[in-house]
Amino acid sequence: MSRPLRIEYENAFYHVMNRGRGRENTFLNDDDFKYFLYCIEQASLRFNIEVHSYCLMTNHYHLLIKTPDANLGRAMKHINGLYTQYFNRTHNTDGALFRGRYKAVLVDADNYLLHVSRYIHRNPIETSTPLVDDLAKYQWSSYSAFIKRVAVPKWLVRDFIFSLQGKKRKYVAYKQFVEFENGEKISAFYNAKKLLSVLGCEDFIENINDHIASPNSESKLVVKKYSADDVIAYLAQYFSVEVDDIVMVKKGRKEKNLPRWFAIKLCQDLSGLNLQALAGIFNVQHYSAISKTVGRLNALMLEDKKVKLQYEKLRDCLMCEVKI
């Protein structure tokens, strides 16, 4: 049997979900939940995805994601792969953790996004054995952040969903919507024997079907790749430094070498090269040094918005000017 068609395009919204293999638990303790959220954070930085709602249950998860760069597959491969490696390492297990390919429902944002967010946030009380008596008490979903009970993760996007309600008292309005609105139509969609891949009004579904049927369309976008040499040359020119200042390790240098850090992350995000190949290009002995450098830059971008904006500017300029 063929796999369901993946429909990817810029600025699409998806309800993404996956369950543990054999319905086994995928989160055994608080540290597991926290690490999965870390994986989401890293994916949001590396792949420029927007997370608009989430709920992590003991044996499955729900994410509401927007993909400005039409790269859902790459982002989810990163999240699932990174978390599975952590889980196997931490709990002394091996093999696949999830039951297989994640499910992704393409969502008509104008008509259904608000309802999907509600469905996701109600998961802890919609099970056969409710996990809490008050949704705000469940700490592994974004609901508490939506009603302003806890600090909001920097990578969580709420304003678009708030805007769909068009009400001034957004926190109170969202709480009332989630806890008291009738959701029978959405529940019927998700409880169907075969889950459809698109949730939307007739016009939205028709447009998607026309796109798939078009002989000139690509239902799954092929991500453009960029030459590492061109990326490095561009950054050297941009920062007015020599190429060697970027590709060579400066021993004893304690200050941040942002041109090098930017180059490593941009090559990882845009070139399609694996860590081993990047280790050779940037003259480090082990590929783990590449991951550590990207991790430092990701942390710095969370602390300093100017650095994040500079990275985004460089990435956008590269995607416009450097192509192979």
Number of residues that make up the chain: 324
Confidence at residue 17, expressed as pLDDT on a 0 to 100 scale: 96
Which class for 233: exposed (0-12), middle (13-18), buried (19 or more C-beta within 10 A)?
A: middle
Sheet with 103-107, strands from edge to edge, namely 50-56, 60-67, 12-19, 103-107, 198-199
Confidence at residue 88, expressed as pLDDT on a 0 to 100 scale: 95
The two tokens of residue 74 are 């790459």
pLDDT tens, residue by residue, 29-56: 999 999 999 999 999 988 989 999 999 9
Percent of the chain with pLDDT over 90: 54
Average pLDDT score over the chain: 87
pLDDT tens, residue by residue, 179-201: 998 888 899 999 998 889 999 99
Confidence of residue 135 (pLDDT cuts 50, 70, 90): very high
Confidence at residue 49, expressed as pLDDT on a 0 to 100 scale: 93
Percent of the chain with pLDDT over 70: 91
- The C-alpha atoms of residue 235 and residue 260 are separated, in whole angstroms, by 9
Residues 6+ apart with CB under 8 A from 15: 62, 63, 64, 104, 105, 107, 116, 119, 120, 199
Contact between 247 and 280 under an 8 Å Cβ cutoff? The reply is no
